[in-house]
Amino acid sequence: MKPGPAAPDSRADRILADRRERLLRRLGLVPTTAEVTQAFLDATLPASGAVVVDAGCGRVSALRPFRDRVSEMIGVDIHTPDSPLPWLDRFVQADLCRDEDALEPASLDVVLSSFAVEHFHDPVAALRTLAGWLRPGGWLILTTVNRAHPFVDAYCAMPRGLAGPLQRLVKAGPGDAHVLIASANTPARLRAALLAAGFGDVELITTDHLARAWQRRRATFAVGLVGDLAAHAFPLRRSTMVVRAQRPEELTA
């Protein structure tokens, strides 16, 4: 699964993407993952002077529309971007599961993590690293896949020999096809991992994201649409989780 649909390559692609989005909205598959993420960021970012991290940064970032409220935007990822990301002030290469000293402790107002949790070998360790970088009262906003959805569970459980080609089929490019682990990827497990990492005040919303994420090809869009419609009436089984969680004044983990 990828953070969101790839940018359309042509006017025809944009028209098709717009038509699909209108269909999804008519079918009631709202709010979108992007809309919930933007609302959480708007509610948690300071009015000005924020220091933020985009953890697991990709070609797009939900933080970009808030640039006027940010004094420093730092990208952190285990992989160096294929090309420079112009909206970042600096980039730090780090493994969140191990490199807790990659940034200064208690130095950030907000951390955004977009579709990274499913790739962590040790989700609690990675989340604990992010909690340590946040100032007391700072916020983590994250999106990740939900294995309570049967399509997502099957996707995550595939042997690498099958998952790799499938990822390359539905994703924007081969560079996005990272190993899926997803050991903390149900609402209950993710909430428990956040609490174990020291976070409190956890708010979790599920969204229908398969058709939007898999719309690169007609067949995968259709499969995603079926999956979204089947799960929509069961919020705990929708394909994607969007979470905001606050670092308390004192970390207890």
Question: How much is the pLDDT for 1?
Answer: 41
Pick the CATH number of 11-246 from 3.40.50.300, 3.40.50.150, 3.40.50.720, 3.40.50.970: 3.40.50.150
Neighbour order of strands in the sheet with 70-77: 90-93, 70-77, 50-55, 108-114, 134-145, 240-246, 200-207
Q: What is the DSSP letter of 49?
A: -
Chain mean pLDDT for the chain: 91
Question: How much is the pLDDT for 168?
Answer: 65
| CB neighbour class for 145 (10 Å; exposed up to 12, middle 13-18, buried from 19) | buried
Question: How much is the pLDDT for 2?
Answer: 42
Residue ranges covered by each domain of the chain: 11-246
pLDDT of 231 above 70: yes
Express each pLDDT in 13-63 by its tens digit: 889 999 999 999 999 999 999 999 999 999 999 999 999 999 988 778 999
Question: How much is the pLDDT for 164?
Answer: 66
Express each pLDDT in 103-112 by its tens digit: 999 999 999 9
Question: How much is the pLDDT for 104?
Answer: 97
Question: How much is the pLDDT for 177?
Answer: 52
| Position 204 confidence tier, pLDDT thresholds 50, 70, 90 | very high
Question: How much is the pLDDT for 3?
Answer: 44
Express each pLDDT in 61-81 by its tens digit: 999 999 999 999 999 999 888
Q: Which residue has the tokens 């940034």?
A: 103
Mean local confidence (pLDDT), 229-239: 98
Cα–Cα distance between 195 and 198 in angstroms, integer?
5
